[in-house]
């Protein structure tokens, strides 16, 4: 019997190890480990079900894009624009997250009341109603105002608010500025105006995001080919980057530039001679005088002015940026005056009239006013409506309308935006959970109307605003409130549209939309209820009212900006939907954090020259301070940004993107200094290394 040596054992072991390594076994083990680790119990496995496609409407901004939502079982999993819709053409990235909003971490599930420590405590609906009704009665007893802030006027809910407010001694119904500032300046009461984009030669935009979420985006996309877009903007905005021409004007010079353009077309006899007082006004705005304060060469202004006539018809629009806020009323007046001088009003391809959406007749309504027209400090109760305009509205602009101890009630479904300031929160249904309506956008040339029907049930704690108003009115002993449910009010509006005999209804069929003869009002309601759309007839030519800018503004424009200041004008900006009351869905980190496609509130841009002047390096942390507050951000040297200004976004709030609520606003929203006219384009910031 031969003995086994130690060496043979080692050879055997070594050979075994080598053989195992060379065999498929290790790879199989690795493979299995990879597969096992992929099936962690923590990974969600989505529920399956039947796939269906349902029509919907995005109501995150006034654009009201028609949508299609794909459901798996009863769960909406994908939203997209509906190109088959007569008013369709796509949706923006925010619209694509429409179905996710009901599941957003900042979604409010039940009514709540903020305690003294600021922490919201859940409240029964009945208690919330009693609380609001008590505040209404108290306001009526003490003679203090009740203010409703509605960011999308003209809906049936808006009328319900106005009916309720009409019954109160000091009921105020207010809306913030929207993107149709110039058109509203020109319009006569009850005669809204729009822009005939399909036949416009040149669209002259004074900072309005005309190519990046403005009006109804699908319409602009369709009209873009053949349309010359000139963007006068204080930074290289997305619209400026896509425009045919961009003039980088200085912040606050919009009105002066509009009058300089008017000066050229009038002095060179390119348009009809205006009235003597207008001629005297614009004679003071020679391009050479405006050029230094505008930051654009006089020759370039003159060439642009000539091209407005040669490449007409031209429509000039202001309205401001969703983050930068509205233009000052005097700026809008100057732009409107330019429109009138160019002969754009009432002309095909220019600014034309449109009708209004028919409404049922009812009792008295509180007048609709702009928020800036509401007296300061008078409101003892503020009700913030549930919907969002997608534009920034700083709390400071709202707060100045309130009495010191005013009660704030929010109907927003989310704990974000202005709703964070509310003492009482009564959440409304989130998008896709409730009824909604789409009214004409500011640029529309014909009135239109369609309805967004609920697609998923709201949670038990959500209350429709119409139902809430009905309960509050009953509890407060107010008789003349809207009767019926939200659906009843919508049905009455469909009946009013049918009774008007105007326009046509395009009903949704299996193979698209088809004009439908409607025998009665019920048929009109059914067509609209099932995703149909009403489009008005064309109306008679427009008549405009142009008002000259105030003498104070004119003198200010001619003086220009004082030189030698260390602080910089703040160029606040945001995409429509990014800094309103609706929180951004977490998936939007793909645009604001994980790619460089959109600028977030985390970085402030200055030109390389300005950075050098302030001793700042690209990528360094900087502190920005204004009279309203201070923020820290990462400096980004942007060679496309003209010197002498700092550009910072107002949203989206990065905390909301990660499902967290913050008590303080972020980005430019924290720095904004709101002026008496509720604009904040004059905000200046000091910048230094953090």
Chain positions contacting other proteins, by CB under 8 A: 27, 30-31, 34-35, 37-40, 42-49, 72, 75-81, 89-93, 96-97, 99-100, 103-107, 211-212, 217-218, 221, 236, 238, 240-243, 245-246, 248, 585-591, 593-598, 640, 657-659
- Judged by beta carbon, residue 259 or residue 415, the one nearer other proteins is 415
Phi, psi torsion values for 114, nearest 5 degrees: -80, 130
Nearer to other proteins, 93 or 556 (CB): 93
**Nearest by Cα to 229 from 197, 196, 183:** 197
Cβ nearer to other proteins, comparing 109 with 121: 109
CA 161, CA 586: separation in Å to the nearest integer? 33
CB of 195 to other proteins, least distance (A): 19
Among 538, 514, 357, residue whose Cα is nearest residue 451: 357
Pick the closer one to other proteins by CB: 404 or 460.
460
CB–CB of 184/412 below 8 Å?
A: no
DSSP letter string, 53-101: EEEEE--SSTT--EEEEEEETTEEEEEEE-TTSTT-S---TTGGGGGGG
Provide, rounded to whole angstroms, the least separation between the CB of residue 31 and other proteins.
7
Pairing status of strand 533-535 against strand 504-509:
antiparallel
Run of H or E including 406: strand 402-410
Between 364 and 640, whose beta carbon lies closer to other proteins?
640
Shortest reach from residue 170's CB to other proteins, in Å? 40
> What's the closest the beta carbon of residue 249 comes to other proteins, in angstroms?
13
Please say which residue, 72 or 298, places its beta carbon nearer to other proteins: 72
Between 120 and 217, name the residue whose CB sits nearer to other proteins: 217
Q: How far is the CB of 106 from other proteins (least distance, A)?
A: 8
Position of tokens 């999308």? 152
Nearer to other proteins, 79 or 197 (CB): 79
Contacts of 460 (CB under 8 A, 6+ apart): none
Q: Shortest distance, CB of residue 448 to other proteins, whole angstroms?
A: 19
H or E element that contains 338: helix 329-341
Contact 79, 96 (CB under 8 A): yes
**Closest separation between CB of residue 603 and other proteins, Å?**
12
Taking the C-alpha atoms of residue 159 and residue 590, their distance in angstroms, rounded to an integer, is 39
Q: Which is nearer to other proteins, 76 or 329 (CB)?
A: 76
Rounded to 10 deg, the angle between the 465-476 and 125-142 helix axes is 60
Q: Whole-number minimum distance, CB 487 to other proteins, in Å? A: 26
Kindly give, in sequence order, each residue whose CB lies less than 8 Å from that of residue 498, ignoring residues fewer than 6 positions away.
518, 520, 521, 523, 524
Within 87-224, residue ranges assigned H as helices are: 125-142, 156-166, 181-186, 217-223
**Smallest gap from residue 81 Cβ to other proteins (A):** 6
CA atoms lying within 13 Å on the CB side of residue 605: 21
Q: What share of the chain is helix, strand, coil (3-state, %, to 5)?
A: 35, 20, 45
Three-state secondary-structure class, residue 530? coil
* Nearest C-alpha neighbor of 432 from the set 8, 114, 69, 30: 69
Given a contact cutoff of 8 angstroms between Cβ atoms, the answer to whether 497 and 359 are in contact is no
Based on CB atoms, which residue is closest to other proteins, 570 or 578? 578
Query: 41 or 517, CB closer to other proteins?
Result: 41
186 with 545: CB under 8 angstroms? yes
Q: Name residues whose C-beta falls within 8 Å of residue 506's C-beta, 6 or more positions apart in sequence.
A: 86, 513, 514, 515, 516, 532, 533, 534, 535
Question: What is the CA angle 269-275-277, rounded to 5?
Answer: 115
Closest distance between other proteins and the C-beta of residue 624, in Å?
A: 22
Shorter beta-carbon distance to other proteins: residue 2 or 37: 37
- Residue 511 DSSP label: T
The smaller minimum CB distance to other proteins, of residues 127 and 664, is found at 664
Smallest distance, Å, CB 241 to other proteins?
4
Minimum distance from residue 112 beta carbon to other proteins (Å): 17
Least separation, in Å, of the C-beta of 99 and other proteins?
6
């Amino acid at each position: 019997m031969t003995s086994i040596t130690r060496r043979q054992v080692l050879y055997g072991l070594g050979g075994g190890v080598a053989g195992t390594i060379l065999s498929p076994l290790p790879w199989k083990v690795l493979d299995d480990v990879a597969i096992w680790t992929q099936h962690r119990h923590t990974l969600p496995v989505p529920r399956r079900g039947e796939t269906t496609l349902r029509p919907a409407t995005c109501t995150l901004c006034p654009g009201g894009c028609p949508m299609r939502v794909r459901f798996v079982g009863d769960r909406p999993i994908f939203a997209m624009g509906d190109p088959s819709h007569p008013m369709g053409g796509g949706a923006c990235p925010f619209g694509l997250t429409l179905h996710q909003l009901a599941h957003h971490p900042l979604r409010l599930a039940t009514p709540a009341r903020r305690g003294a420590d600021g922490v919201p405590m859940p409240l029964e609906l009945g208690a919330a109603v009693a609380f609001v009704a008590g505040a209404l009665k108290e306001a009526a007893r003490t003679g203090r105002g009740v203010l409703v802030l509605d960011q999308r006027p003209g809906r049936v809910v808006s009328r319900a608010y106005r009916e309720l407010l009409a019954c109160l001694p000091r009921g105020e119904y207010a809306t913030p500025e929207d993107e149709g500032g110039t058109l509203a300046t020109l319009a006569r009461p009850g005669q809204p105006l729009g822009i005939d984009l399909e036949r416009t030669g040149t669209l002259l935009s004074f900072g309005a995001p005309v190519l990046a979420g403005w009006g109804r985006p699908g319409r602009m996309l369709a009209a873009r080919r053949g349309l010359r877009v000139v963007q006068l903007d204080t930074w290289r905005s997305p619209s400026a980057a896509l425009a045919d021409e961009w003039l980088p004007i200085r912040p606050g010079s919009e009105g002066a530039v509009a009058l300089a353009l008017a000066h050229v077309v009038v002095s060179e006899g390119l348009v009809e001679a205006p009235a003597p007082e207008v001629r005297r006004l614009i004679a003071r705005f020679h391009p050479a005088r405006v050029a230094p304060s505008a930051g654009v060469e006089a020759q370039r202004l003159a060439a642009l002015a000539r091209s407005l006539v040669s490449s007409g018809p031209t429509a000039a629009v202001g309205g401001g940026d969703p983050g930068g806020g509205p233009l000052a009323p005097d700026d809008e007046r100057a732009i409107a005056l330019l429109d009138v001088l160019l002969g754009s009003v009432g002309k095909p391809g220019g600014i034309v009239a449109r009708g209004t959406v028919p409404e049922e007749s009812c009792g008295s309504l509180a007048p609709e006013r702009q928020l800036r027209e509401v007296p300061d400090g008078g409101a003892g109760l503020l009700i913030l409506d549930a919907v969002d305009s997608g534009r920034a509205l700083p709390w400071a602009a709202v707060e100045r309308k309130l009495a010191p101890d005013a009660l704030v009630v929010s109907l927003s479904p989310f704990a974000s935006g202005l709703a964070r300031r509310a003492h009482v929160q009564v959440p409304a249904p989130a998008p896709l959970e409730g009824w909604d309506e789409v009214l004409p956008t500011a640029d529309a040339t014909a009135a239109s109307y369609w309805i967004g029907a609920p697609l998923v049930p709201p949670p038990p704690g959500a209350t429709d605003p119409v139902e809430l108003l009905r309960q509050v009115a009953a509890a407060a002993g107010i008789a003349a409130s809207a009767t019926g449910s939200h659906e009843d009010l919508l049905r009455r509006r469909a009946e009013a549209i049918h009774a008007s005999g105007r326009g046509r209804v395009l009903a949704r069929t299996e193979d698209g939309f088809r004009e439908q003869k409607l025998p009665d009002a019920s048929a009109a309601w059914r067509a609209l209820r099932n995703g149909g759309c009403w489009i008005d007839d064309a109306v008679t030519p427009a008549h405009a009212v142009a008002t000259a800018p105030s003498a104070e503004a004119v003198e200010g424009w001619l003086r220009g900006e004082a030189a030698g200041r260390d602080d910089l004008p703040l160029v606040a900006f945001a995409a429509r939907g990014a800094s309103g009351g609706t929180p951004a869905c977490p998936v939007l980190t793909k645009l604001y954090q994980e790619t460089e496609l959109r600028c977030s509130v985390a970085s402030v841009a200055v030109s390389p020259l300005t950075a050098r002047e302030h001793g700042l390096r690209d990528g360094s942390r900087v502190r920005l301070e204004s009279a309203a507050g201070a923020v820290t951000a990462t400096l980004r040297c942007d060679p496309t940004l003209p010197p002498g200004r700092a550009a910072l976004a107002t949203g989206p709030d990065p905390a909301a993107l990660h499902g967290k609520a913050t008590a303080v606003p972020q980005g430019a929203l924290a720095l904004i200094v709101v002026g008496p006219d509720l604009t904040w384009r004059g905000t200046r910031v000091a910048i230094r290394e953090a």
